[in-house]
Amino acid sequence: MLLQRVLTAVVLLALLLPALFASSPLPFAWLTLVFIGAAGWEWARLNGGGPISTVVAGIAVAAACGVGLDLGWTRAAPPWPWWLATLLWPLGGALALARGPAGWPRVPAALRWIVGGIVLWVAWLALAKARTTGINFILSVFCLVWVADIAAYFGGRAFGRRKLAPAISPGKSWEGVWSGMAAVLVLAIVWAAVIDRSLPVDSTSLYGALVARLGWAGLVGVVVLLAAMSVVGDLFESLIKRAVGAKDSSRLLPGHGGVLDRIDALLPVFPIALAMTTL
């Protein structure tokens, strides 16, 4: 199992890193479009789709992303997709988590499919737009999610006492959440104060952009919000899997599960981060 995970990670890095650091943002946009199409297929499978309809769903999500690319929205997107996600994730996520795994199947299937398509499309659009903004910018958002997850894991193991959502993800604790938030606050302050100002970066980071627009107090508030949304994204995907009795979203990534398993926390964070930079 460990060897399988390592081999899959090596292959993914061999694909993603050259695309991410290419001189043009297009290789990254096209590669991630393929991944988000696969995530659309997984979403349809988790929500009752059959063999043909799930493939159609994945193609439809990828095609919608292709339309956004053709319209030039990965370079200069209107702000409404970011604000749509900023509205949907806190309200819809809170409602879904409050109703628990038993409540998800009661949502009309058509609505679940539509919401999933919108969530994936907006997330891909935000991801591609972040890469167009600059490598420093997109890495600052990626690192926020990664650091929040890693710090939550170790903080939860060391201090975890109160369960966050035992019916959805028994391993998560409130102490882990606080640990993740504290870690990303340190990350944000160091990145904005040191990396953006001292290193030859190609663009400002998310944190530098927030300080310029909202000040240091605004940076703290937004970073805490994004860390919370990364937890919501993670829990939301776990809720859907528990509702249908699935361990992973698929087996597309041997040893890692599916694409949704790897990007769940990113789905709300990228569009909400871009919304905050338009304030």
Residues 72-115 pLDDT 10s: 999 998 999 999 999 999 999 999 999 999 999 999 999 999 99
Q: Mean per-residue pLDDT for 240-264?
A: 93
Helix pair angle (135-159, 206-244), 10° resolution: 60
Indicate whether 1 pLDDT > 80.
Answer: no
Q: Are 271 and 122 in contact (CB under 8 A)?
A: yes
User: How many domains, in total, are found in the chain?
Assistant: 1
Higher pLDDT, 224 or 77: 224
pLDDT class of 255 with cuts at 50, 70, 90: confident
| Polymer length in residues for the chain | 279
Start-to-end CA span in the chain (Å): 45
**Residue 121 pLDDT:** 98
**Residue 30 pLDDT:** 97
Indicate whether 2 pLDDT > 80.
Answer: no
Residue of 209, 202, 203, 191 whose CA lies nearest to 277: 209
Q: Mean per-residue pLDDT for 225-235?
A: 97
**Residue 3 pLDDT:** 73
What are the pLDDT digits (tens) for 13-29?
999 999 999 999 999 99
In 10 A of CB 153, how many CB atoms?
Answer: 16
Q: Mean per-residue pLDDT for 7-12?
A: 89
Proportion of the chain above pLDDT 70, given as a percent: 99
Segments forming the whole domain that contains residue 207: 2-276
